[in-house]
Amino acid sequence: MSTPPGKQPRPSTPANQADPAPRPTRRVFSTEYKLAIVAEYENAPNGEKGALLRREGLYSSHVIEWTRARDAGVLTVAPDTPSGPARRRKSAEQIELEKLRRQNEKLKAELAKTQIALDIMGKARMLLEGLSESTDNDGPPKTS
């Protein structure tokens, strides 16, 4: 394989050489930090909001999302835990109950569809019987 004039061939890198850039990790923010930033952002004058975001390394979408969560009551600090409300684990009975309720709703929907289909079939049968009786009563067609 030849290289075009004026181009230098790329040096090959050994396969066992590690990538010098570390793998990025997702940032995680505490509830207190989120609430503090939202409050500071809302109290900042218009010219300083961008400076706050740059200083903290955040995007406006972070603040918008955190504000919506706070307004919805999702972003609150529980008094007993420093990081916020703990998620409660469901018991085996609760999981089974939810599963059975979903299954019950599904079966109810299927039953309703089946009942509608049977009603339509019954009406179609009645219509066909009525047509059949009317053709029996007419007699054979007349020829001239």
How would you write the pLDDT of the chain (144 residues) with one tens digit per residue?
Answer: 555 555 555 555 555 566 678 888 888 889 999 999 999 999 988 888 889 999 999 998 999 999 999 888 887 776 555 554 556 788 888 889 999 999 999 999 999 999 999 999 999 999 999 998 888 776 666 665
**Distance in angstroms (rounded) separating the CA atoms of residues 76 and 97:** 29
Query: Cα(27)–Cα(53) distance, rounded to whole angstroms?
Result: 15
| Under 8 Å between Cβ of 58 and 37 | yes
Q: State residue 79's pLDDT score.
A: 57
- pLDDT of amino acid 96: 92
pLDDT attached to residue 133: 87
Torsions phi, psi for 23 (to 5 deg): -70, 130
pLDDT of residue 123: 96
